[in-house]
Amino acid sequence: MERDLGTKIIHVYSLQVKGRCRIRFNNFQDRLVKELRLANISDIKEANKFLEEVFIPRFSQRFGIKPQKRKDLHQKLTKYELGNLESDLLSSVL
């Protein structure tokens, strides 16, 4: 699959990289809670609206990176894969 897509998997075992990911995740969670409080939001419906309309667009604008290529690299499913979607979904849930 990597060869088909022209990609290379880079496995990261470094504690520094794992730590950076964890720090970003914790910062993201911490920042979101503070933003919700600043916006006086305390229910899920308003929080979801805030996420979609305010927080995610601002976050994406600040930290997002535009792809080098706009081409859709999704591959069509084979007949076999199409026939086994339901069983694959059930096995991943169980």
25-77: per-residue pLDDT in tens? 776 778 888 999 999 999 999 999 998 999 889 888 887 788 888 888 788 88
pLDDT band at 91 (very low <50, low <70, confident <90, very high): low
Predicted TM-score (pTM) of this structure: 0.48
Distance CA 59, CA 28 (A): 9
For residue 53, the model assigns a pLDDT of 95
How many Å separate Cα 50 from the centre of its chain? 18
Does the CA dihedral 76-79-83-84 come out positive or negative? negative
Does the CA dihedral 9-79-70-50 come out positive or negative? negative
